[in-house]
């Protein structure tokens, strides 16, 4: 937990604010008790005139105002801290996943990551908003009250000192069980929500293969497990609340009983200190008891913290960049480059040279590492060993911003996000309408654009106008054409497309190659025939390389040229 809290630079500042506000609350409680004692003693014991007690009424009102104001600020600042902390954690998760996105998405279901980002982070809300402020309050207020009671009646303070530890001790005992049960609950929730999101994503495929009933039973199992663990946590919470209330009631009763004996039987205690102690004793126990309301929330959040800390502290191989800008149309090369997946699958060592302004094709059987080599060349993954050379200098010396400004990566499933057509094409950069329409024309999307209700301002993507697979590919090509990148990576751009769209993409590759270096992974000869040089990849290594003429006797090349499409896919 401490290592997790160190992730927040502002944690100590918030702790100091919580401590000051708790001290204000403790002081207001003492002032409140003092003024009440003076008023009651003056009216019922000393029988003094009412107007002489007006200053104590003023002190009482001030005490009430301070207590309400400090309590409000404690709650408000707790809300602010919770919101800031959750935003920081989400930003950390995004930054970590973004820096090695390809490897991350292969490791875990997308649904579980979404659940971690949304639901698990939300579990931290109660810890920062309720538990931390209340914990500080429960540490400071009882100490201040206990000191005041010592001066009023030491024996009552001793009773409080003996009975008070039973409350935090109960929290510790119950907390261990709560933490364990909550970990089980969060794990069940994460699995259930992740499975649910993944099933929604693949619902069309499940219905196509008549697997909906089978997956329905799986989802029912996850739901039942989540429900059982949630009920277990609630049972512990209800039992602990009853136990804490019992301790509080007995503690106040013991203090009242001892004061009664001192006043009535032994007559060693006067009214004012006795009433002052009886006024502060319930506040003493309440300040400890109030921690119980936030205790289970805090303990529940510990399990979420552990899950988030495990995710954030996973060893990662971030892609390393430098400061030098990419100039001109870049050349690329891999020198003894090796990439290794988490399961031990290794691609490489690979050594290849890609001259500037040339079209290079990677071919080979499905699942032998072509896509991985493309990711290595595009710097979307960090190498296990070896190096990537960009314009005769190591990638570690090249500016990340400069590299991604000049590069574009198009795979067989381009992403169209929820936004306008214009937003999907410009991607945050400024282009005139003429430039946008020109790129759409080259991507043969003008007829599609004319049918849209609001033209370039039509909303497409999730929750809006649907886009077919072929249209997504053309939008991706239009993005490339409008940006005019200096290096383009294609990963199976024509897989599963109709002949007309395939011809359009092939033409676009030819157009882009006039002003860029192009690297393409393909199983289609129509896409391949414009390549200046080919690399045949087999078992994660370069088996053969050369021009079309040099590879014309290669069986795989011959099957592409004369046998049509090969099955797509790679690791």
137 upstream amide cis, omega within 30 of 0 = no
568 or 109, which is more confident: 109
CA distance 77 to 63: 21
Average pLDDT over residues 44-62: 91
Inter-residue contact 496 to 565 (CB < 8 Å): no
Inter-residue contact 477 to 505 (CB < 8 Å): yes
CA distance 330 to 488: 11
Tokens of 513: 């190659």
Prediction pTM value: 0.63
CA distance 558 to 487: 28
Tokens of 514: 């006039």
The structural domains of the chain, with segments of one domain joined by +, span: 2-312, 332-563
182 or 242, which is more confident: 242
For the segment 74-109, what is each residue's pLDDT rounded down to a tens digit? 999 999 999 999 999 998 888 877 765 555 555 545
Number of Cα atoms under 13 Å in the Cβ half of residue 374: 30
CA distance 505 to 444: 10
Q: What is the pLDDT of residue 304?
A: 81
Q: Which of 183-197, 391-405, 470-484 has the lowest mean pLDDT?
A: 183-197
CA distance 69 to 65: 6
The CATH architecture annotation of domain 332-563 reads 3-Layer(aba) Sandwich (3.40)
Residue 535 backbone phi and psi in degrees, to 5: -120, 125
Tell me what the pLDDT averaged over the chain comes to. 84
Minimal CA–CA distance to 501: which of 436, 419, 397, 414? 414
Q: What is the pLDDT of residue 32?
A: 95
Q: What is the pLDDT of residue 568?
A: 42
Average pLDDT over residues 382-410: 89
The superfamily CATH assigns to domain 2-312 is ABC transporter type 1, transmembrane domain (1.20.1560.10)
Minimal CA–CA distance to 174: which of 245, 250, 239, 248? 239
Residue 83 backbone phi and psi in degrees, to 5: -65, -45
């Amino acid at each position: 937990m401490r290592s997790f809290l160190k992730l927040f630079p502002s944690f100590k500042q918030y702790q100091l604010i919580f401590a000051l506000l708790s001290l204000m609350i403790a002081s207001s409680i003492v002032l409140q008790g003092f003024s009440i004692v003076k008023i009651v003693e003056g009216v019922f014991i000393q029988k003094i005139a009412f107007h002489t007690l007006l200053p104590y009424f003023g002190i009482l009102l001030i005490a009430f105002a301070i207590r309400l104001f400090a309590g409000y600020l404690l709650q408000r600042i707790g809300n602010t801290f919770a919101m800031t902390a959750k935003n920081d954690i989400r930003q950390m998760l995004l930054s970590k996943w973004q820096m090695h996105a390809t490897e991350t998405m292969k490791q875990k279901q997308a649904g579980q990551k979404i659940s971690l980002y949304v639901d698990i982070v939300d579990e931290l809300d109660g810890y920062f908003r309720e538990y931390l402020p209340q914990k500080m309050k429960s540490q400071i207020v009882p100490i201040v009250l206990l000191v005041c009671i010592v001066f009023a009646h030491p024996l009552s303070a001793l009773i409080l000192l003996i009975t008070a530890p039973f409350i935090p001790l109960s929290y510790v005992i119950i907390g261990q069980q709560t933490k364990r049960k909550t970990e089980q609950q969060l794990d069940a929730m994460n699995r259930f929500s992740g499975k649910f999101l993944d099933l929604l994503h693949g619902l069309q495929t499940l219905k196509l293969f008549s697997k909906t009933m089978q997956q329905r039973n799986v989802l029912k199992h996850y739901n039942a497990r989540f429900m059982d663990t949630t009920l277990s946590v609630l049972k512990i919470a209800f039992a602990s609340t009853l136990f804490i209330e019992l301790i509080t009631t007995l503690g106040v009763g013991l203090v009242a009983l001892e004061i009664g004996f001192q006043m009535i039987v032994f007559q060693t205690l006067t009214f004012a200190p006795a009433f002052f102690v009886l006024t502060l004793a319930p506040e003493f126990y309440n300040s400890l008891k109030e921690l119980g309301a936030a205790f289970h929330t805090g303990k529940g959040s510990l399990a979420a913290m552990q899950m988030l800390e495990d995710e954030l502290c996973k060893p990662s191989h971030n892609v390393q960049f430098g400061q030098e800008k990419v100039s001109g149309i870049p050349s690329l090369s891999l020198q003894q480059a090796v990439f290794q997946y988490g399961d031990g699958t290794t691609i490489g060592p690979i050594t290849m040279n890609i001259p500037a302004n040339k079209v290079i094709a990677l071919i080979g059987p499905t699942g032998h590492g072509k896509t991985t080599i493309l990711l290595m060349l595009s710097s979307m993954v960090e190498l296990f060993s070896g190096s990537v050379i960009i314009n005769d200098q190591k990638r570690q010396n090249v500016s990340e911003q400069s590299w991604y400004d000049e590069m574009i990566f198009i795979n067989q499933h381009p992403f169209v996000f929820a936004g306008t057509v214009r937003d999907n094409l410009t991607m945050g950069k400024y282009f005139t309408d003429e430039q946008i329409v020109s790129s759409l024309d080259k991507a043969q999307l003008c007829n599609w654009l004319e049918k849209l209700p609001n033209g370039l301002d039509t909303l497409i993507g999730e929750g809006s106008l649907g886009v077919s697979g072929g249209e997504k590919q053309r939008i991706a090509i239009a993005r490339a054409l409008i940006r005019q990148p200096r290096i383009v990576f294609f990963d199976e751009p024509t897989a599963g497309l109709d002949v007309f769209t395939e011809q359009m993409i092939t033409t676009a590759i030819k157009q882009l190659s006039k002003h860029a270096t192009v690297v393409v992974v393909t199983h289609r000869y129509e896409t391949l025939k414009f390549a200046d040089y080919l690399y045949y990849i087999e078992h994660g290594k370069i088996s053969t390389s050369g021009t079309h003429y040099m590879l014309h006797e290669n069986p795989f090349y011959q099957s592409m040229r004369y046998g049509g499409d090969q099955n797509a896919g790679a690791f």
